[in-house]
Structure 1
Amino acid sequence: MPDGTQLYLELLKKILTNVIYQDPTFPDPAAEHGISGYRDDIREIGLDWPTVAHTMVGRKRLDNVHWAVEKVLEDGVPGDFVETGVWRGGVCILIRAILQAHGVTDRTVWLADSFEGMPVTGEESHEADRRLAVHRYNHVLAVSLEAVKENFARYGLLDDQVKFLKGWFKDTLPTAPPGPLAVIRLDGDLYESTTDALVNLYPRLSPGGFAIIDDYAIGACREAVHDYRATFGIKDEIVPIDTFGVYWRRTD
């Protein structure tokens, strides 16, 4: 029988993805993929954009975060946890809950986001980012810092083990978080955003730590990952999570 800790975390994941009340997706971005209303199979793999749920990554990618965080705690991998691109904060709420459930008081969860949506791409932007033009969905993607803090507070998880980095990654990540890091989770969609996160965070990732890429299915993001890995000779196996995200575990 599962213990109380795991029962709590499993229930939390159901609440964060809102499979309880089954809120529908935002119609305009989802319509491009023929998705409307609420569907269990789509919410499971995080392909809709929920109107109410506190995360859009889906159950499988939340399960991956849960496993990775508990694995580094079990193995004694040193470091904090950081997500770049947090939307309503759901993934980091889960990470903070895992730390609380296991009585971990010496690690921090860092949330890096503009809290104003995606950067507007122009002629100076990477070609793949110009094609993607994801800023056209900022009416959905822009969630204020105050709103994310309020979401943490609703779960009773807003405390000094949660730190916020407001601004573009290229400006906030060079100096914070200082490291070491046990898990980095990159959810920036774009080539430039993904590259900024890898360049600044991966060198601080402890051996045995996890690099999780939420948007690997997006060509711009995947290209950035492959370019960075090739530049620095990273050979660790890329493991699929679902149809969208991947991870690898740093071995060197």
Structure 2
Amino acid sequence: MENTGDGPEKGPKMEASGQLYLDLLEKVVTNMIYGDAPTPNAWVPETSFTREHRENGLDWPSTAHTMVGLKRIRNVRHCLEQALADGVAGDFIETGVWRGGVCIFARGILKAHGVSDRRVWLADSFEGIPDTGPDGHPMDQEMALHQSNEVLGVSMETVRDNFARYDLLDDQVQFLPGWFEDTLPTAPVEKLAVMRLDGDLYSSTMDALVNLYPKLSPGGFVIIDDYVIPACRKAVEEFRETEGIEDPLEAIDDYSVFWRRGA
């Protein structure tokens, strides 16, 4: 059942201006307002903007700061605002940030709620998808997503500049540059309230789950952007089985899922 969420069920009310700010921000980071043409590629061949594709994250935008689409952006808002309302301890992290739009939105949520004691972490190679090579997982090798790194590889300087365009680049925004297998085991992240995984590959997904899930507070959220990809789904299923996780998966759209960690 699709469940993007409409915001927290309880907790302090935010000013109407803050709600309007976030309503606008979610449309800006996805560029639903001007509707930039997508960049065609081997996986997503669309060349013309349609609201349906952008709402569902079915294109690779040429200008927008995220490709996740409006439904998944609203899910981020639902999860983070619910965590704030319920007092779930910890920060927000995204593993695989592209142009930074999701994390820009997450920082905007914290700002709109007047939250100054939580951070937004961006973990990314800032070079694109790794070339798994002959020693990589077979399912990762089949996809060869690194062949699209001309589009998928976005420098950290560009992402920082994107944050600055929204006046959201400050000390609450922290970068973890490098391959997940190198950075996540020693990442200086203490607690997480929301972790959003967008690394596509089996290896990237497993690296994030193994190293970050132990830091997720009870009541925190795990968002899996690429669950539709067999390699990613396999990593999630194996991890949940190994860890005995029975918290139900909920669909965001036809491509992504999330679950809330039980007590």
Map of 1:16 onto structure 2: 29
TM-score w.r.t. length of structure 1: 0.97
Q: Deviations over 1:46-93 (max 9, x none)?
A: 010000000000000000000111000000000011000000000000
In structure 1, the partner of 2:251 is 240
Which of 156, 159, 162 in structure 1 is aligned with 2:173? 162
Residue by residue over 1:172-202, the C-alpha shift from the partner in whole angstroms, topping out at 9 and shown as x without a partner, is 1112142210000000000000000000000
Identity of aligned residues (%): 61
Q: Secondary structure at the match of 1:150?
A: helix
SS of residue paired to 1:26: coil
Does the 8 Å contact 1:183/1:205 carry over to 2?
yes
* Equivalent position of 1:153 in the other structure: 164
Out of 5, 13, 17, which is 1:4 matched to? 17
| Cα RMSD, aligned residues only | 1.0
Match of 2:67 among 53, 56, 70: 56
Contact 2:121/2:173 (CA < 8 Å) preserved in 1? yes
User: Structure 1 residues 56 and 231 mapped into 2: Cα distance closer, same or farther (>3 Å)?
Assistant: same
Residue segments in structure 2 that go unaligned for 5+ positions in a row: 1-14
| Residue type of the alignment partner of 1:17 | T
Q: Counterpart amino acid of 1:5?
A: G
Quote the residue 1:107 is aligned against. Answer: 118
Deviation readout 1:217-240 (Å, 9 max, x if unpaired) = 000000000000011100000000
1:202 aligns with 2:213: yes
Match for residue 68 of structure 1?
79
Q: Residues 17-53 of structure 1, C-alpha deviation per residue, up to 9 Å, x if partnerless? A: 1111110111223xx4552210110000101000000
Distance 1:55 1:34 in 2: 17
Q: Distance in 2 between matches of 1:17 and 1:177?
A: 30
Matches of 1:34 and 1:145 in 2, distance apart?
Answer: 27
Q: What is the rounded CA distance, in whole Å, between the counterparts of 1:229 and 1:39 in structure 2?
A: 36
Q: Structure 2 counterpart of 1:153, which letter? A: A
SS in 2 for 1:22: coil
SS for the counterpart of 2:78 is helix
* Equivalent-residue separation in structure 1 for 2:89 and 2:206 (angstroms): 24
SS in 2 for 1:174: helix
2:36 counterpart letter in structure 1: D
Residues 1:174 and 2:215 are matched in the alignment: no
Counterpart contact for 1:110–1:177, Cα < 8 Å: no
- For the pair 1:126 / 2:137, whether they are aligned, the reply is yes
Structure 1 unaligned blocks of 5 or more:
none
Cα separation, 2, equivalents of 1:62 and 1:6 = 15
Residue in structure 1 matched with residue 40 of structure 2 by the alignment: 27
Q: Does the aligned pair in 2 maintain the 1:9–1:97 contact within 8 Å?
A: yes
Name the SS of the counterpart of 2:175 in structure 1.
Answer: strand
Runs of 4+ displaced beyond 3 Å = none
Q: Number of aligned pairs?
A: 249
CA shift, 1:136, in A, is 0.8
| 33 and 158 in structure 1: CA distance in 2 versus 1, 3 angstrom threshold | closer
Moved more, 168-177 or 226-235: 168-177
The alignment partner of 1:228 has SS state of helix
Given residue 32 of structure 2, which amino acid in structure 1 is its aligned partner? V
- Taking a change above 3 Å as real, the CA distance of residues 233 and 170 of structure 1, as seen in their structure-2 partners, is same
